[in-house]
Structure 1
Amino acid sequence: MAYSGEPILADDLLFRPEHSLIDQSQHSRLGESTTNGDGFGIGWYGEGSEPAVYKSTEPAWNDSNLREIARQVRTPMLLAHVRYSTGTAVQRSNCHPFRHGKWLWVHNGLLRGFRELRRDLLLAVDPALFPDIEGSTDTEALFYLALTFGLVDDPLGAVARAVGFVEEVGRAKGIERPVQMTVATTDGEFLYVFRYSSERKSRSLYFSTGIAQLRALHPEVEVLRELGDSTRFVVSEPLRDLEGAWNEVPESSAAIVGAGADAIRPFVPIAPS
């Protein structure tokens, strides 16, 4: 889940919705697994120059410290993730979000054949960035490839180049469809989201309808009156069953979310030259 908008309590984002991310950690409707209990994490922007992260290997529904801090953290940008491991260890360094400088990164999906691809992918990471890799996941490898290919200056192009590189390495190793991803990444100002898979059958991803439009559709829903006009959600699963509230991100698309910059465009991997 990603939130962008006026500052709001993390508790209102993580616990209050009917089908909140905490509920999804036990009762996912659209994910590969109903239960996502291999750790969790949140990342948010506050007073510091870089975002803060809180991550744990505990299931999200069973971490009392998360409930404590969620009642006190107020933020204009939050990324949250509940983990279902695709093969790498359950340890804090493998929990999302991943952070580098002012950037946060979360990923739902996998790089198929990562065990066979891992060496080639990591050797392509900028040597200046490589020492900052802490865990062993395909998600963190993809993040550092995006950083290597220019995420800071060109987020959409960098992710396209990173995915193109993974696909080329995969094909060379006999893995024809290596990439399955929905990704959200942010520098704290803009939110960038991606829905793509090599087989063009990507996992679910939705963005919220504008709050002003939703208020007009559902004047009886009190929580809509509490949310600011700039509120945007991007989620793997709708947080509430509310007609007109959720729009599916199109297959093979990227989006920019931010003040005056909401835009969806086709996402096409860029193969290495």
Structure 2
Amino acid sequence: MCRWFVYRGAPLRTSELLLHPVHSIVAQSLNSPLGAEPVNGDGFGFGWYPVDGDGPPGLFHSIEPAWHDRNLRSLAEAVVSPLFFCHVRAAAGPPIQQTNCHPFRNDGWLFMHNGGIADFDRVKRDLVLAVDPDLYPLMLGTTDSEVLFHLALTLGLRDDPVGAIARAIAFVERVGHEHDVRFPFQGSIATTDGDSVWAFRYSSQGRSRSLFHSTDISDLRTMYPDESRLSLFSDDARVIVSEPINDLPGAFLEVPEASVAILDAAGYRHAAFAPAGS
């Protein structure tokens, strides 16, 4: 389907993680060993929050493959940010166009998704009609992921992110079952308000796409004292990824099936996750 990446920590030149690691998200756009598709070349998106926290997140989308987009490389070398998202897309049906590239933005929020709503063409009408009328005009693309984001906004994402995602997926499953879709939802989701990050791993079938987060950097420095690149990162530097961006054993921990990882200034917290009412 797709691959995605999240960083949160002290302000960092974004190229240090988007471009330079051996298995960076840009490298994964061309070769993704753990992905449902090895190539994710149907466009990409890059979203970042300013260092001073003033204003909405920046956003750059392109339908070019990430591995040879010069604009992305130039931008990543120039942008310094304390929190940034990147997503590379493997289109599963909706056309290749900028409005279908993740992450999606609403005011200060970013959202991205790897996976899909099964038989989306059959359930799309019911899902779209459930979106708040004030939010409906803001859906500019044709993907199931964008509809899911606006459903979550409709159902209270700003005040209760975990509950809103649970209610949105529960609604997707209910509508899917009404249309005889056996396993309506599949995916990993990341969303942020610019401070905390919520990363979900869930599927109706119980076989979700891969999702990992980094080990604490202090532990990594102890494990790998000769790894000079670790000195680039602050003690609170953490990443959440569709798949690991390096080959260091123990550097990444798998996020369990049917769970949410919450990342804030205190670090990671984990909780079981299930659609509301399931």
TM range (shorter): over 0.9
Per the alignment, in what secondary structure is the counterpart of residue 71 of structure 1? Answer: helix
1:62 Cα deviation after fit: 1.6
CA–CA separation in structure 2 for the residues paired with 1:199 and 1:187:
29
The 5 Å alignment of 1:203-222 reads 203-222=209-228
The equivalent of 1:38 in structure 2 is: 42
The equivalent of 1:63 in structure 2 is: 69
CA–CA separation in structure 1 for the residues paired with 2:43 and 2:75:
17
**In the alignment, structure 1 residue 105 sits paired with structure 2 residue 98:** no
1:159 to 165, 180, 183: 165
**Paired amino acid for 2:101:** C
**Paired amino acid for 2:158:** V
Unaligned regions of 5+ residues in structure 2, if any? none
In the alignment, is the contact (CA less than 8 A) between 1:165 and 1:271 conserved in 2?
Answer: no
1:50 to 56, 81, 86: 56
The 5 Å alignment of 1:185-204 reads 185-204=191-210
1:3 to 7, 12, 21: 7
Count of paired positions: 272
The equivalent of 1:266 in structure 2 is: 272
Per the alignment, in what secondary structure is the counterpart of residue 262 of structure 1? Answer: strand
For residues 67-106 of structure 1, give each alpha carbon's deviation from its aligned partner in whole angstroms, at most 9, with x where no partner exists. Answer: 1111110000000000000100100000000000100011
The equivalent of 2:17 in structure 1 is: 13
Deviates more, 1:39-48 or 1:121-130: 39-48
CA RMSD across the alignment: 0.9
The equivalent of 1:140 in structure 2 is: 146
CA–CA separation in structure 2 for the residues paired with 1:240 and 1:86:
27
In the alignment, is the contact (CA less than 8 A) between 2:42 and 2:96 conserved in 1?
Answer: yes
Moved beyond 3 Å, runs of 4+ = none
1:220 Cα deviation after fit: 0.6
1:271 Cα deviation after fit: 3.6
CA–CA separation in structure 1 for the residues paired with 2:55 and 2:158:
15
CA–CA separation in structure 2 for the residues paired with 1:167 and 1:119:
14
The equivalent of 1:233 in structure 2 is: 239
For residues 99-153 of structure 1, give each alpha carbon's deviation from its aligned partner in whole angstroms, at most 9, with x where no partner exists. Answer: 0010001101111010101000000001111111110000000000000010000
**In the alignment, structure 1 residue 120 sits paired with structure 2 residue 126:** yes
CA–CA separation in structure 2 for the residues paired with 1:62 and 1:131:
33
CA–CA separation in structure 1 for the residues paired with 2:96 and 2:263:
31
The equivalent of 2:100 in structure 1 is: 94
CA–CA separation in structure 2 for the residues paired with 1:271 and 1:44:
34
The 5 Å alignment of 1:65-80 reads 65-80=71-86
When normalised by structure 1's length, the TM-score is 0.98
For residues 7-60 of structure 1, give each alpha carbon's deviation from its aligned partner in whole angstroms, at most 9, with x where no partner exists. Answer: 001111111101001110001101111111100001000154210100000000
In the alignment, is the contact (CA less than 8 A) between 1:168 and 1:271 conserved in 2?
Answer: no
**Paired amino acid for 1:57:** I
1:261 Cα deviation after fit: 5.0
CA–CA separation in structure 1 for the residues paired with 2:71 and 2:267:
35
1:226 Cα deviation after fit: 1.5
CA–CA separation in structure 2 for the residues paired with 1:57 and 1:68:
16
Per the alignment, in what secondary structure is the counterpart of residue 65 of structure 1? Answer: helix
In the alignment, is the contact (CA less than 8 A) between 2:236 and 2:267 conserved in 1?
Answer: no
CA–CA separation in structure 2 for the residues paired with 1:261 and 1:26:
31
**In the alignment, structure 1 residue 149 sits paired with structure 2 residue 144:** no
2:174 to 168, 193, 197: 168
